[in-house]
Structure 1
Amino acid sequence: MADASETASVGFAGIPTTTLADVLGREQVMDIGIRPLWQPVPRIAGPAFTVRCPPGDNLMLHAAIHRAEPGSVIVVESGDLDYALAGGNVCAVAQRRGVVAFVADGLIRDLAEIRDMGFPVFARGVIPIPGAKKVVEPLNVEVRCGGVRVNADDIVVADEEGVVVVPSARQGDVLTASLAKLAKEAGETLDTWEEAHRARIDKLLRDGGFMG
Protein backbone atom coordinates (compact mmCIF):
# COMPACT_ATOMS: atom_id res chain seq x y z
CA MET A 1 0.00 0.00 0.00
CA ALA A 2 1.07 3.58 -0.65
CA ASP A 3 2.03 5.55 2.43
CA ALA A 4 0.49 8.92 3.29
CA SER A 5 3.30 10.98 1.76
CA GLU A 6 3.15 9.01 -1.50
CA THR A 7 -0.63 9.47 -1.68
CA ALA A 8 -0.26 13.19 -1.01
CA SER A 9 2.42 13.50 -3.69
CA VAL A 10 0.09 11.99 -6.30
CA GLY A 11 -2.66 14.44 -5.32
CA PHE A 12 -0.41 17.49 -5.37
CA ALA A 13 1.17 16.58 -8.73
CA GLY A 14 -2.01 17.77 -10.42
CA ILE A 15 -2.09 21.16 -8.71
CA PRO A 16 -0.31 24.18 -10.25
CA THR A 17 2.02 26.12 -7.99
CA THR A 18 -0.09 29.23 -8.69
CA THR A 19 -3.07 27.58 -6.99
CA LEU A 20 -0.96 26.43 -4.04
CA ALA A 21 0.52 29.92 -3.69
CA ASP A 22 -2.98 31.39 -3.51
CA VAL A 23 -3.92 28.91 -0.77
CA LEU A 24 -0.69 29.02 1.24
CA GLY A 25 0.57 32.59 0.85
CA ARG A 26 3.95 34.13 0.14
CA GLU A 27 5.87 32.55 3.04
CA GLN A 28 5.69 29.07 1.49
CA VAL A 29 6.90 30.09 -1.97
CA MET A 30 10.63 30.03 -2.72
CA ASP A 31 12.21 33.17 -4.12
CA ILE A 32 12.57 33.69 -7.86
CA GLY A 33 16.22 32.65 -7.84
CA ILE A 34 15.20 29.01 -7.42
CA ARG A 35 14.11 28.24 -10.96
CA PRO A 36 14.02 25.32 -13.41
CA LEU A 37 17.36 24.99 -15.18
CA TRP A 38 15.87 23.56 -18.37
CA GLN A 39 12.56 23.89 -20.19
CA PRO A 40 9.91 22.68 -20.63
CA VAL A 41 10.14 21.19 -17.15
CA PRO A 42 7.37 18.88 -15.90
CA ARG A 43 5.53 19.64 -12.68
CA ILE A 44 7.00 17.58 -9.85
CA ALA A 45 5.72 16.79 -6.37
CA GLY A 46 7.10 14.69 -3.56
CA PRO A 47 8.10 14.58 0.10
CA ALA A 48 11.23 16.54 0.93
CA PHE A 49 14.48 14.79 1.80
CA THR A 50 16.49 17.63 3.27
CA VAL A 51 20.22 18.28 2.99
CA ARG A 52 22.48 20.99 4.38
CA CYS A 53 25.74 21.76 2.56
CA PRO A 54 28.10 24.48 3.79
CA PRO A 55 29.57 26.81 1.14
CA GLY A 56 32.14 25.07 -1.04
CA ASP A 57 31.21 21.54 0.05
CA ASN A 58 28.74 19.04 -1.42
CA LEU A 59 29.46 15.83 0.52
CA MET A 60 26.01 15.50 2.06
CA LEU A 61 24.14 15.89 -1.23
CA HIS A 62 26.30 13.11 -2.64
CA ALA A 63 25.42 11.04 0.43
CA ALA A 64 21.72 11.84 0.11
CA ILE A 65 21.24 10.33 -3.35
CA HIS A 66 21.96 6.88 -1.85
CA ARG A 67 19.61 7.40 1.11
CA ALA A 68 16.56 9.25 -0.20
CA GLU A 69 13.49 7.10 -0.78
CA PRO A 70 12.05 6.75 -4.30
CA GLY A 71 9.59 9.56 -4.94
CA SER A 72 11.52 12.05 -2.80
CA VAL A 73 12.48 15.58 -3.77
CA ILE A 74 15.98 16.32 -2.46
CA VAL A 75 16.00 19.87 -1.06
CA VAL A 76 19.41 21.45 -0.42
CA GLU A 77 20.38 24.42 1.73
CA SER A 78 23.63 25.92 0.52
CA GLY A 79 23.56 29.49 -0.72
CA ASP A 80 26.90 28.86 -2.44
CA LEU A 81 27.41 30.71 -5.73
CA ASP A 82 31.05 29.68 -6.22
CA TYR A 83 30.96 25.88 -6.48
CA ALA A 84 28.63 23.26 -7.96
CA LEU A 85 26.68 20.99 -5.63
CA ALA A 86 26.23 18.24 -8.21
CA GLY A 87 26.79 17.24 -11.81
CA GLY A 88 25.55 14.82 -14.40
CA ASN A 89 26.52 11.55 -12.73
CA VAL A 90 25.01 12.52 -9.38
CA CYS A 91 21.75 13.46 -11.09
CA ALA A 92 21.80 10.24 -13.13
CA VAL A 93 22.20 8.08 -10.02
CA ALA A 94 19.49 10.05 -8.20
CA GLN A 95 17.15 9.58 -11.16
CA ARG A 96 17.93 5.86 -11.39
CA ARG A 97 17.14 5.48 -7.68
CA GLY A 98 13.76 7.14 -8.10
CA VAL A 99 14.46 10.64 -6.79
CA VAL A 100 11.94 12.98 -8.42
CA ALA A 101 14.04 16.17 -8.56
CA PHE A 102 16.64 18.37 -6.90
CA VAL A 103 15.61 21.72 -5.43
CA ALA A 104 18.84 23.44 -4.47
CA ASP A 105 19.73 26.84 -3.06
CA GLY A 106 22.97 26.75 -5.04
CA LEU A 107 24.49 25.74 -8.35
CA ILE A 108 25.01 22.62 -10.43
CA ARG A 109 27.13 21.70 -13.43
CA ASP A 110 26.82 19.42 -16.52
CA LEU A 111 23.54 21.07 -17.45
CA ALA A 112 23.46 19.58 -20.96
CA GLU A 113 23.70 16.05 -19.54
CA ILE A 114 21.00 16.75 -16.98
CA ARG A 115 18.70 18.26 -19.57
CA ASP A 116 19.25 15.32 -21.93
CA MET A 117 18.32 12.79 -19.21
CA GLY A 118 15.22 14.81 -18.32
CA PHE A 119 16.04 15.12 -14.62
CA PRO A 120 14.30 18.17 -13.11
CA VAL A 121 16.63 20.52 -11.25
CA PHE A 122 15.44 23.76 -9.68
CA ALA A 123 18.42 25.85 -8.56
CA ARG A 124 20.11 29.24 -8.80
CA GLY A 125 22.21 28.45 -11.86
CA VAL A 126 25.24 26.61 -13.18
CA ILE A 127 28.99 26.79 -12.73
CA PRO A 128 31.65 24.35 -13.94
CA ILE A 129 33.66 24.17 -10.69
CA PRO A 130 32.92 21.23 -8.34
CA GLY A 131 32.80 21.63 -4.59
CA ALA A 132 34.81 19.71 -1.99
CA LYS A 133 33.65 16.68 -0.01
CA LYS A 134 34.78 17.16 3.58
CA VAL A 135 32.00 18.40 5.85
CA VAL A 136 29.59 15.94 7.49
CA GLU A 137 26.15 17.28 8.43
CA PRO A 138 22.98 15.48 9.59
CA LEU A 139 20.39 14.62 6.96
CA ASN A 140 16.64 15.30 7.13
CA VAL A 141 16.87 18.23 9.52
CA GLU A 142 15.14 21.57 8.95
CA VAL A 143 16.77 23.56 6.16
CA ARG A 144 16.18 26.91 4.51
CA CYS A 145 15.95 26.92 0.72
CA GLY A 146 14.94 29.93 -1.35
CA GLY A 147 13.88 31.72 1.82
CA VAL A 148 11.47 28.96 2.92
CA ARG A 149 11.91 26.62 5.87
CA VAL A 150 11.65 23.02 4.74
CA ASN A 151 11.36 19.94 6.94
CA ALA A 152 11.63 16.29 5.97
CA ASP A 153 8.34 15.03 4.51
CA ASP A 154 6.95 18.47 3.71
CA ILE A 155 5.50 18.21 0.21
CA VAL A 156 7.46 20.13 -2.42
CA VAL A 157 5.66 21.09 -5.62
CA ALA A 158 7.59 22.76 -8.43
CA ASP A 159 6.87 23.73 -12.01
CA GLU A 160 7.78 26.48 -14.47
CA GLU A 161 6.07 29.05 -12.21
CA GLY A 162 8.18 28.31 -9.11
CA VAL A 163 8.57 26.12 -6.03
CA VAL A 164 6.03 25.82 -3.20
CA VAL A 165 6.44 23.96 0.10
CA VAL A 166 3.38 22.44 1.78
CA PRO A 167 4.05 21.80 5.50
CA SER A 168 3.40 18.15 6.33
CA ALA A 169 0.90 19.03 9.06
CA ARG A 170 -1.24 21.00 6.59
CA GLN A 171 -1.23 18.61 3.63
CA GLY A 172 -4.83 17.46 3.95
CA ASP A 173 -6.34 20.91 4.36
CA VAL A 174 -4.22 22.45 1.61
CA LEU A 175 -5.03 19.65 -0.83
CA THR A 176 -8.76 19.96 -0.14
CA ALA A 177 -8.72 23.76 -0.52
CA SER A 178 -6.64 23.60 -3.70
CA LEU A 179 -8.88 21.02 -5.35
CA ALA A 180 -11.96 23.07 -4.45
CA LYS A 181 -10.38 26.20 -5.94
CA LEU A 182 -9.52 24.37 -9.17
CA ALA A 183 -13.02 22.92 -9.44
CA LYS A 184 -14.58 26.36 -9.00
CA GLU A 185 -12.30 27.87 -11.64
CA ALA A 186 -13.02 25.03 -14.07
CA GLY A 187 -16.73 25.77 -13.92
CA GLU A 188 -16.29 29.51 -14.49
CA THR A 189 -16.41 31.07 -17.97
CA LEU A 190 -14.27 34.04 -18.89
CA ASP A 191 -17.44 36.16 -19.14
CA THR A 192 -18.41 35.23 -15.58
CA TRP A 193 -14.90 35.88 -14.31
CA GLU A 194 -14.73 39.23 -16.10
CA GLU A 195 -18.05 40.38 -14.63
CA ALA A 196 -17.09 39.42 -11.08
CA HIS A 197 -13.61 40.87 -11.51
CA ARG A 198 -14.92 44.20 -12.79
CA ALA A 199 -17.37 44.46 -9.89
CA ARG A 200 -14.66 43.68 -7.32
CA ILE A 201 -12.13 46.13 -8.79
CA ASP A 202 -14.72 48.91 -9.13
CA LYS A 203 -15.70 48.46 -5.47
CA LEU A 204 -12.07 48.64 -4.38
CA LEU A 205 -11.60 51.82 -6.43
CA ARG A 206 -14.74 53.45 -4.96
CA ASP A 207 -13.71 52.48 -1.44
CA GLY A 208 -10.34 54.08 -2.10
CA GLY A 209 -11.86 57.34 -3.32
CA PHE A 210 -11.17 56.84 -7.04
CA MET A 211 -13.55 58.98 -9.12
CA GLY A 212 -12.70 57.92 -12.69
Structure 2
Amino acid sequence: MARDGSVLGMIEATEFLDIPTTTLADLLGREQVMDIGIRPLWGPVPRIAGPAFTVRCPPGDNLMLHAAIHRAEPGSVVVVESGDLDYALAGGNVCAVAQRRGIAGFVADGLIRDLAEVRDLRFPVYARGIIPIPGTKAAVAPLGEPVRCGGVTVAPGDIVVADEEGVVTVPAAHRTDTLTAARTKLAKEATETLDDWEAAHRSRIDEILARGGFRG
Protein backbone atom coordinates (compact mmCIF):
# COMPACT_ATOMS: atom_id res chain seq x y z
CA MET A 1 0.00 0.00 0.00
CA ALA A 2 1.24 3.47 -0.78
CA ARG A 3 1.91 5.50 2.29
CA ASP A 4 -0.62 8.23 1.43
CA GLY A 5 -3.28 5.63 0.73
CA SER A 6 -2.45 3.84 3.94
CA VAL A 7 -2.83 6.99 6.03
CA LEU A 8 -6.19 7.72 4.40
CA GLY A 9 -7.22 4.14 5.07
CA MET A 10 -6.26 4.46 8.74
CA ILE A 11 -8.43 7.56 9.15
CA GLU A 12 -11.43 5.89 7.57
CA ALA A 13 -10.85 2.62 9.40
CA THR A 14 -10.95 4.22 12.83
CA GLU A 15 -14.49 5.35 12.04
CA PHE A 16 -15.52 1.70 12.13
CA LEU A 17 -14.50 1.32 15.79
CA ASP A 18 -18.03 2.12 16.95
CA ILE A 19 -19.67 -0.25 14.46
CA PRO A 20 -20.41 -3.75 15.85
CA THR A 21 -19.55 -6.70 13.66
CA THR A 22 -23.20 -7.80 13.93
CA THR A 23 -24.27 -4.61 12.14
CA LEU A 24 -21.66 -5.08 9.43
CA ALA A 25 -22.62 -8.74 9.00
CA ASP A 26 -26.27 -7.75 8.51
CA LEU A 27 -25.23 -5.36 5.76
CA LEU A 28 -22.50 -7.36 4.01
CA GLY A 29 -23.70 -10.96 4.30
CA ARG A 30 -22.05 -14.26 5.07
CA GLU A 31 -19.29 -14.00 2.47
CA GLN A 32 -17.56 -11.20 4.40
CA VAL A 33 -17.74 -12.92 7.80
CA MET A 34 -14.86 -15.19 8.84
CA ASP A 35 -15.72 -18.63 10.11
CA ILE A 36 -16.17 -19.35 13.81
CA GLY A 37 -12.69 -20.82 14.13
CA ILE A 38 -11.20 -17.34 13.93
CA ARG A 39 -11.95 -16.12 17.43
CA PRO A 40 -10.44 -13.88 20.11
CA LEU A 41 -7.88 -15.78 22.18
CA TRP A 42 -8.45 -13.79 25.35
CA GLY A 43 -11.24 -11.64 26.69
CA PRO A 44 -12.88 -9.33 27.12
CA VAL A 45 -11.24 -8.20 23.91
CA PRO A 46 -11.60 -4.65 22.58
CA ARG A 47 -13.03 -4.08 19.13
CA ILE A 48 -10.36 -3.38 16.55
CA ALA A 49 -10.73 -1.82 13.13
CA GLY A 50 -8.04 -1.13 10.60
CA PRO A 51 -6.91 -1.62 7.02
CA ALA A 52 -5.63 -5.11 6.30
CA PHE A 53 -1.90 -5.70 5.96
CA THR A 54 -1.90 -9.12 4.32
CA VAL A 55 0.56 -11.95 4.88
CA ARG A 56 0.81 -15.49 3.53
CA CYS A 57 2.67 -18.17 5.51
CA PRO A 58 2.91 -21.78 4.32
CA PRO A 59 2.25 -24.51 6.90
CA GLY A 60 5.07 -24.82 9.41
CA ASP A 61 6.71 -21.51 8.55
CA ASN A 62 6.15 -18.06 10.10
CA LEU A 63 8.89 -15.98 8.45
CA MET A 64 6.63 -13.53 6.63
CA LEU A 65 4.52 -12.69 9.68
CA HIS A 66 7.74 -11.93 11.55
CA ALA A 67 8.77 -9.74 8.61
CA ALA A 68 5.36 -8.04 8.50
CA ILE A 69 5.50 -6.58 12.01
CA HIS A 70 8.38 -4.35 10.92
CA ARG A 71 6.58 -3.22 7.75
CA ALA A 72 2.90 -2.85 8.59
CA GLU A 73 1.69 0.71 9.14
CA PRO A 74 0.54 1.75 12.63
CA GLY A 75 -3.20 1.17 12.95
CA SER A 76 -3.28 -1.71 10.49
CA VAL A 77 -4.61 -5.19 11.20
CA VAL A 78 -2.21 -7.93 10.14
CA VAL A 79 -4.21 -10.66 8.39
CA VAL A 80 -2.46 -14.01 7.93
CA GLU A 81 -3.27 -16.86 5.59
CA SER A 82 -1.84 -20.12 6.91
CA GLY A 83 -4.26 -22.84 7.94
CA ASP A 84 -1.49 -24.54 9.93
CA LEU A 85 -2.65 -26.31 13.08
CA ASP A 86 0.73 -27.81 14.01
CA TYR A 87 3.03 -24.82 14.60
CA ALA A 88 2.67 -21.32 16.06
CA LEU A 89 2.86 -18.31 13.79
CA ALA A 90 3.89 -15.94 16.57
CA GLY A 91 4.50 -15.62 20.28
CA GLY A 92 4.70 -13.04 23.00
CA ASN A 93 7.69 -11.06 21.72
CA VAL A 94 6.31 -10.78 18.20
CA CYS A 95 3.01 -9.51 19.59
CA ALA A 96 4.83 -7.09 21.91
CA VAL A 97 6.82 -5.59 19.03
CA ALA A 98 3.68 -5.37 16.88
CA GLN A 99 1.89 -3.58 19.70
CA ARG A 100 4.82 -1.23 20.24
CA ARG A 101 4.78 -0.34 16.55
CA GLY A 102 1.08 0.55 16.73
CA ILE A 103 -0.36 -2.45 14.92
CA ALA A 104 -4.02 -2.82 15.95
CA GLY A 105 -4.01 -6.62 16.16
CA PHE A 106 -3.56 -9.94 14.39
CA VAL A 107 -6.21 -11.94 12.55
CA ALA A 108 -4.57 -15.24 11.74
CA ASP A 109 -5.81 -18.42 10.13
CA GLY A 110 -3.49 -20.43 12.35
CA LEU A 111 -2.10 -20.66 15.88
CA ILE A 112 0.01 -18.62 18.27
CA ARG A 113 1.83 -19.36 21.52
CA ASP A 114 2.68 -17.52 24.76
CA LEU A 115 -0.98 -16.76 25.35
CA ALA A 116 -0.39 -15.55 28.92
CA GLU A 117 2.07 -12.95 27.66
CA VAL A 118 -0.27 -11.85 24.89
CA ARG A 119 -3.17 -11.58 27.32
CA ASP A 120 -1.06 -9.55 29.76
CA LEU A 121 -0.15 -7.21 26.91
CA ARG A 122 -3.82 -6.95 25.98
CA PHE A 123 -2.78 -7.29 22.36
CA PRO A 124 -5.79 -8.39 20.29
CA VAL A 125 -5.24 -11.70 18.51
CA TYR A 126 -7.96 -13.52 16.60
CA ALA A 127 -6.82 -16.97 15.56
CA ARG A 128 -7.69 -20.67 15.60
CA GLY A 129 -5.98 -21.44 18.88
CA ILE A 130 -2.68 -21.96 20.65
CA ILE A 131 0.16 -24.45 20.51
CA PRO A 132 3.54 -24.25 22.25
CA ILE A 133 5.86 -25.10 19.34
CA PRO A 134 7.00 -22.40 16.88
CA GLY A 135 7.28 -22.72 13.13
CA THR A 136 10.47 -22.34 11.13
CA LYS A 137 11.63 -19.23 9.27
CA ALA A 138 12.61 -20.09 5.72
CA ALA A 139 9.81 -19.44 3.23
CA VAL A 140 10.10 -16.03 1.58
CA ALA A 141 6.91 -14.73 -0.04
CA PRO A 142 5.52 -11.36 -1.12
CA LEU A 143 3.62 -9.22 1.38
CA GLY A 144 0.51 -7.24 0.54
CA GLU A 145 -1.23 -9.69 -1.78
CA PRO A 146 -4.82 -10.96 -1.45
CA VAL A 147 -5.09 -13.77 1.10
CA ARG A 148 -7.70 -16.23 2.28
CA CYS A 149 -8.39 -16.11 6.02
CA GLY A 150 -11.26 -17.77 7.81
CA GLY A 151 -12.94 -18.52 4.50
CA VAL A 152 -12.89 -14.87 3.38
CA THR A 153 -10.73 -13.35 0.68
CA VAL A 154 -9.01 -10.25 2.08
CA ALA A 155 -7.22 -7.71 -0.08
CA PRO A 156 -4.68 -5.26 1.28
CA GLY A 157 -6.49 -2.13 2.43
CA ASP A 158 -9.82 -3.85 3.08
CA ILE A 159 -11.21 -2.75 6.43
CA VAL A 160 -11.06 -5.48 9.07
CA VAL A 161 -13.39 -5.14 12.06
CA ALA A 162 -13.13 -7.70 14.86
CA ASP A 163 -14.79 -7.97 18.25
CA GLU A 164 -16.13 -10.66 20.57
CA GLU A 165 -18.78 -11.59 17.97
CA GLY A 166 -16.27 -12.39 15.24
CA VAL A 167 -14.39 -10.88 12.30
CA VAL A 168 -15.91 -9.04 9.34
CA THR A 169 -14.08 -7.55 6.37
CA VAL A 170 -15.31 -4.54 4.42
CA PRO A 171 -14.02 -4.39 0.84
CA ALA A 172 -12.08 -1.16 0.38
CA ALA A 173 -14.23 -0.11 -2.56
CA HIS A 174 -17.36 -0.23 -0.39
CA ARG A 175 -16.08 1.19 2.88
CA THR A 176 -17.74 4.61 2.58
CA ASP A 177 -21.13 3.23 1.55
CA THR A 178 -20.92 0.54 4.24
CA LEU A 179 -20.00 3.02 6.94
CA THR A 180 -22.92 5.30 5.97
CA ALA A 181 -25.37 2.39 5.91
CA ALA A 182 -24.11 1.10 9.26
CA ARG A 183 -24.48 4.47 10.95
CA THR A 184 -27.98 4.87 9.52
CA LYS A 185 -28.94 1.42 10.79
CA LEU A 186 -27.56 2.04 14.26
CA ALA A 187 -29.25 5.43 14.50
CA LYS A 188 -32.60 3.90 13.60
CA GLU A 189 -32.13 1.09 16.12
CA ALA A 190 -31.26 3.62 18.83
CA THR A 191 -34.68 5.26 18.54
CA GLU A 192 -36.60 1.97 18.53
CA THR A 193 -38.04 0.70 21.82
CA LEU A 194 -38.33 -2.99 22.63
CA ASP A 195 -42.10 -2.64 22.26
CA ASP A 196 -41.62 -1.23 18.76
CA TRP A 197 -39.23 -4.02 17.86
CA GLU A 198 -41.53 -6.71 19.27
CA ALA A 199 -44.55 -5.43 17.34
CA ALA A 200 -42.65 -5.23 14.06
CA HIS A 201 -41.01 -8.59 14.67
CA ARG A 202 -44.28 -10.36 15.41
CA SER A 203 -45.94 -8.85 12.35
CA ARG A 204 -43.08 -9.97 10.11
CA ILE A 205 -42.92 -13.49 11.55
CA ASP A 206 -46.71 -13.92 11.36
CA GLU A 207 -46.64 -12.81 7.72
CA ILE A 208 -43.94 -15.35 6.86
CA LEU A 209 -45.84 -18.10 8.71
CA ALA A 210 -49.07 -17.25 6.89
CA ARG A 211 -47.35 -17.41 3.50
CA GLY A 212 -46.08 -20.84 4.45
CA GLY A 213 -49.53 -22.07 5.36
CA PHE A 214 -49.00 -22.16 9.12
CA ARG A 215 -52.15 -22.00 11.22
CA GLY A 216 -51.96 -21.57 14.96
TM-score normalized by the length of structure 2: 0.97
Is residue 181 of structure 2 the alignment partner of residue 172 of structure 1? no
TM alignment of 1:1-212, pairs within 5 A: 3-212=7-216
CA distance in 2, matches of 1:168, 1:4: 11
CA distance in 2, matches of 1:158, 1:75: 11
CA distance in 2, matches of 1:19, 1:66: 33
Unaligned runs of 5+ in 1: none
CA distance in 2, matches of 1:72, 1:98: 8
Partner amino acid for 2:56?
R
SS in 1 for 2:59: coil
TM-superposed CA distance for 1:8, in Å, is 1.4
SS in 2 for 1:51: strand
CA distance in 2, matches of 1:153, 1:9: 9
SS in 1 for 2:18: coil
Runs of 4+ in structure 1 off by over 4 angstroms are none
Q: Identify if the C-alpha distance between structure 1 residues 67 and 3 changes in structure 2 by more than 3 Å, giving closer, same or farther.
A: closer
Aligned length: 212
Write out per-residue CA displacement over residues 161-187 of structure 1, whole angstroms, 9 at most, x where no aligned residue: 000000000001100000000000000
TM-superposed CA distance for 1:4, in Å, is 2.5
Q: Identify if the C-alpha distance between structure 1 residues 186 and 125 changes in structure 2 by more than 3 Å, giving closer, same or farther.
A: same
TM-superposed CA distance for 1:3, in Å, is 3.6
Q: CA RMSD in A?
A: 1.0
TM-superposed CA distance for 1:7, in Å, is 2.0
